[in-house]
């Protein structure tokens, strides 16, 4: 059983409050007003994305295994990827800053000048 992220739990809670009886990934269609209210509350933005047909079919298969529609499945994995990539980038940036600081300290200790 997979754990739901805090953000996903909040989106599900908001969806129930804004569109009673609606669950993420369900087949029930939201009215335009419900969809706009949910997107606004959840901080979501509509995008258009073209993918190879075979990729879409694979995503649909994987989403079905999790019991959700493919669009929420894609959103979940894109959010996870973006979060992990940002964390990795920030970590790499911080590591580089520490290396630069240590190098500057090392060169100053030896009376050397850096560029």
Is the Cβ–Cβ distance between 30 and 19 less than 8 Å? yes
What is the structure's pLDDT at 53? 96
> In this predicted model, what pLDDT tens digit does every residue of 35-92 receive, in sequence order?
787 777 777 778 888 999 999 999 999 999 999 999 989 989 998 998 888 888 888 8
- HEC string of 22-46 equals CCCCCCCCCCHHHHHHHHHHHCCCC
Integer Cα distance of 69 and 58 in angstroms: 12
What pTM, to 2 d.p., does this model score?
Answer: 0.54
With 80 as the cut, is the pLDDT of residue 94 above it? yes
Is the Cβ–Cβ distance between 25 and 69 less than 8 Å? yes
With 90 as the cut, is the pLDDT of residue 3 above it? no
Nearest one of 46, 47, 45, 37 to 14, comparing CA atoms: 37
What is the structure's pLDDT at 98? 86
């Amino acid at each position: 059983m997979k754990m739901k992220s805090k953000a996903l739990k909040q989106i599900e809670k908001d969806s129930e409050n804004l569109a009673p009886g609606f669950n993420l990934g369900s087949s029930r269609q939201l009215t335009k007003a419900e969809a706009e209210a949910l997107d606004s509350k959840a901080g979501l933005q509509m995008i258009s994305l073209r993918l190879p047909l075979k990729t879409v079919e694979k995503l649909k298969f994987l989403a079905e295994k999790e019991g959700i529609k493919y669009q929420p499945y894609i959103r979940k994995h894109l959010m996870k990827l973006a979060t992990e990539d940002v964390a990795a980038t920030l970590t790499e940036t911080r590591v580089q800053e520490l290396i630069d600081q240590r190098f500057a300290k090392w060169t100053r200790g030896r009376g050397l000048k850096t560029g």
